Structure 1
Amino acid sequence: MHPTLKSQYTWFHVVGRFSTATEALAVNGSALAVRKFEPIMVQPESKTPDGSYFLSSLDQAIPFTMKTIHRYEKGGDNVGDVLKQALSKALVHYYPLAGSMAISPQGNFMVDLTQKTAPFVEAEADCSLDVLGDVRIPNPAVTNKLTYSDPNAKNILETPLLSAQVTRFKCGGFTLGVGISHSLADGPSGMNFINSWAEIARGKPVSAVPFLDRTLLKSRMPPRTKYPYDDFVEITDTSDTEQLYQKDPMVYKLFSFDPEKIAAIKKLALSDGKLKSCSSFAAVSALVWRARSKALKMKPQQLTKIRMLADVRSKFEKPLPQNYFGNAVVTTAGLATTGELCEKPISFAVEQIQKAVECVDEEYVWTRMAFGDTYRPQLSSVGTLVISSWTRFDYSMSNFGWGNPSQFGCGDLGRELCVFMPEGEGKKGIAVVLVLPHSAMNTFEELVQI
């Protein structure tokens, strides 16, 4: 909400509860029209700390909103009220999410806790959930309809740190669209918040009370760097890949790898005897890295990078407290030319991934933070693939009283990002979600067939 309007709101108070214009959108051959009501500014139910809230160096690096959509096949007429009231209680535990982004005297991001509110929107769709199809596959136009974005926010400082939208469908089901600033939460932290909110909605106590003190990850002074950090190597676009992105429309797709397919990739990776073992993550990541590089028509000499997000909560000699709330992930990277990836056996790509993962320990975390604080490196490039694994996220606990979500997905993807999600019975498979230019996606689909 625009800063000049914030003072007009109190808990559950709305100025002018009228519906916005309804817009129709064709999805899967059917029309999706969503009518949104004005946001209600929800406050923590009871008093929470004031002042400012520290954000670590790991939090500083990712000041953008990550959006997720949760699909529920059943709901009730009171779903909006239940979730709204439960959110007010949840914000007592997760009060930083109700603050606003600010700049510290040192020029870093922090959270201002002067006024604590989060926008909550109720909406109605004129169709059934079936129109949405598979919500694990991002559709930015659908995401805009099922999540809330403050139209008055001009920059990151004016963007809500948390927003929520409940959209009821004619079939009786509903979706919950959540936007959380990545500076406030990584994947595990965000999922813990959603699950805690759901517990409260069911009348249960919060089972995973968040640990909010982020000064545990305050950078060491003076900063000490140690590694060359493949993660920070700048890549030049020698293959005119950027032109392909500009020319072709973007296509989002999901590829399913069941245990049999994963076993086949592992067998191939181990067949030349150069590796002693191969994890499911490394096998699928290697396949995707090679196929994507080929599909984007990268030249043999083109340098490529695979960046992987690693949870470091257990990497410290004294592990971070259980339920640490904040960003406790770092990226680690492997480098290779397209020629090396495509001409050598897949075991080569797996080996680069394994080396990158194995180097992440406590010293890596501290010195990598120091490198980022000191040099502020640019990480984005067309030759980079970022793997974010959500396979361990327990979204099945997000039961607000009408059953577990039938699906859960990210609202959008950056063009470098590839998300791994749990798939199939026992969640032993991997669903790979990514976006590519249309022509490259067709080639990629052929290359990942096992």
Structure 2
Amino acid sequence: MGVLKNQETVQLLHDIQLSILSSSILFPAEPIPKRTMFLSDIDQLSFNFDVETVHFFAANARFPLPAVAQGLQSAIERVLVTYDFLAGRLRFNEQECRLEIDCNSAGVGFVLAESAVELADIKDLDYPHPAFRQLVTANAHPPEGKDPFLLSIQLTSFKCGGFVIGLTSNHITLDGISTAVFLDNIAAIATGGEIATMPFTDRRVLSARSPPRVSFSHPELLELPCVPFSLPLLELKYRLFRLTDSDIETLKRRAQPSSCRATSFKVVAAHIWRCKALATAGDKSSNFTLAYIMNIRARLRPPVPAEYAGNGVLFAIATATVEELTDWPFWRVVEAVAVGATRMDDEYVRSVMDWSRLHRGFPRGDFMMTTWMRLGFHEVEYPWGRPICSGLAGPPGVEMATLLPGARPAAKEMNLLITMRGGVLERFTKFFYELL
């Protein structure tokens, strides 16, 4: 059985003794014509929040911090010529009731810092320690009275010579898939080359139809008023669970004789969904919905280019009653998860976009889930080497499960970062192991 990591068993690091060396703004390396960037009707579904990631690197004698800083800054300035919207500023068009980006070359934040600790002092790099918040650019603020950065980077060196790149980006600019392409492009330029993959930046390909034609009900979406919206802050706790390849194979065997292909994602999603439903007090006859992120680029006709830079993802939903999730054999729960993905064809996705144009909204579900398993952040080849670990700087601010590659991605291990209210998390933990 996998090892449970939590605040009681992991020695949490709360302070890395950070010193800020410099803070600056990086601009595109070449003059860029000003423009307003249209944001798609998927972007409008309240993806307006920051994602903070940390990418750790071992010491490399050929790349001390000044060399890394120079190479990274130069690469970012050059890549912003292509990704001009990242150097822009988000604004709300009240007349159209839409978010858009003013591509005005206002720049991105860049912080250079050093820590008085060594990488070895952080016992578990894959665990989001409280101190990791110091590794992202909370210290990078735009000039007074200016709008927030859409992208900011912090480069922090450790006493041992290792270092970490902390990336803060507004999700409305890039989803996880296009962030991986962006990082590959930075690495390619820093190595002395050109853009490795030219991003496709025309977000009108994910526009609503004219006139909009909502052909399905969309219980996975919550209608919002025509005002800028931000997520409420909740008091949540989190734990990191580790599933070994043996654990995942056990779940796959239990998924037989499911009529769908029992992938690692489906069986883990089914297990998490059932445990969360059982851990949540309420009427057992009521529906309990799992909403999980999926890539819709290839599901449209014609397909959206794989290089699409923006939000090419939507939430698929699986619904059952708590009683059904309790009584069904495991393979039946797996099939219910699969139904959500099957529903996401061209017509359904376009119906979502049409609904967004008419109502504006936010994804909802009794529990949400996303996966980073195939993003490949840990595979990016920088001139100073690949990251020894890439992950979240902190837990999400909503109740959800995030699937992350384990310490040995090739071994198919999986880390589950579970964020929930305290009492629910305790009950979830109990069911997680009893039903595994």
Q: Please state which band the TM-score falls in when normalised by the shorter chain.
A: 0.7 to 0.9
Which structure would you say has the larger RCO, counting Cα contacts within 8 Å and 6 or more residues apart? 2
Out of 399-408 and 409-418, give the one that drifted further: 409-418
Q: What does 1:242-391 correspond to in 2, within 5 Å?
A: 250-270=236-256, 273=257, 275-380=259-364, 384-391=366-373
Out of 251-260 and 42-51, give the one that drifted further: 251-260
Residues 324 and 293 (structure 1), Cα distance of their counterparts in 2 relative to 1, 3 Å cut = same
Aligned-residue offset at 1:436: 2.4
Alignment-derived partner of residue 115 in structure 2: 125
CA distance in 2, matches of 1:334, 1:190: 27
Deviations 1:104-127 (A, max 9, x none): 341211111223300100011110
Residues 307 and 153 (structure 1), Cα distance of their counterparts in 2 relative to 1, 3 Å cut = farther
Residues 133 and 292 (structure 1), Cα distance of their counterparts in 2 relative to 1, 3 Å cut = farther
Alignment-derived partner of residue 165 in structure 2: 176
Does the aligned pair in 1 maintain the 2:208–2:350 contact within 8 Å?
A: yes
Does the aligned pair in 2 maintain the 1:254–1:431 contact within 8 Å?
A: yes
Deviations 1:248-295 (A, max 9, x none): x7432222222221121122122xx45353221110000011112223
- What's the secondary structure of 2:255's corresponding residue? helix
CA distance in 2, matches of 1:151, 1:276: 47
Does the aligned pair in 1 maintain the 2:58–2:387 contact within 8 Å?
A: yes
CA distance in 2, matches of 1:121, 1:152: 10
Alignment-derived partner of residue 73 in structure 1: 58
Matched, 1:162 2:144: no
Q: What does 1:178-197 correspond to in 2, within 5 Å?
A: 178-197=167-186
CA distance in 1, matches of 2:33, 2:305: 21
Q: TM-score, normalised by structure 2?
A: 0.86
Deviations 1:71-128 (A, max 9, x none): 1112513222221111111111211101001123412111112233001000111101
Alignment-derived partner of residue 7 in structure 1: none
- What's the secondary structure of 1:60's corresponding residue? coil
- Give the counterpart of 1:396 among 378, 386, 399: 378
Residues 48 and 217 (structure 1), Cα distance of their counterparts in 2 relative to 1, 3 Å cut = same
- Any unmatched runs of 5+ in structure 1? 1-25, 235-244
Question: Which letter maps to 1:201?
Answer: A
Deviations 1:319-345 (A, max 9, x none): 222411111111111112222212222
Question: Which letter maps to 1:222?
Answer: P
Alignment-derived partner of residue 85 in structure 2: 96
Alignment-derived partner of residue 238 in structure 1: none
Question: Which letter maps to 1:95?
Answer: D
CA distance in 1, matches of 2:409, 2:363: 36
Residues 425 and 219 (structure 1), Cα distance of their counterparts in 2 relative to 1, 3 Å cut = closer
Does the aligned pair in 2 maintain the 1:231–1:334 contact within 8 Å?
A: no
Identity over aligned pairs, percent: 26
CA distance in 2, matches of 1:444, 1:408: 26
Alignment-derived partner of residue 397 in structure 2: 414
Matched, 1:429 2:413: yes
Residues 316 and 421 (structure 1), Cα distance of their counterparts in 2 relative to 1, 3 Å cut = same
Deviations 1:161-205 (A, max 9, x none): 101000110011111110111111111111111121122112122
CA distance in 2, matches of 1:108, 1:328: 18
- Give the counterpart of 2:100 among 89, 95, 110: 110
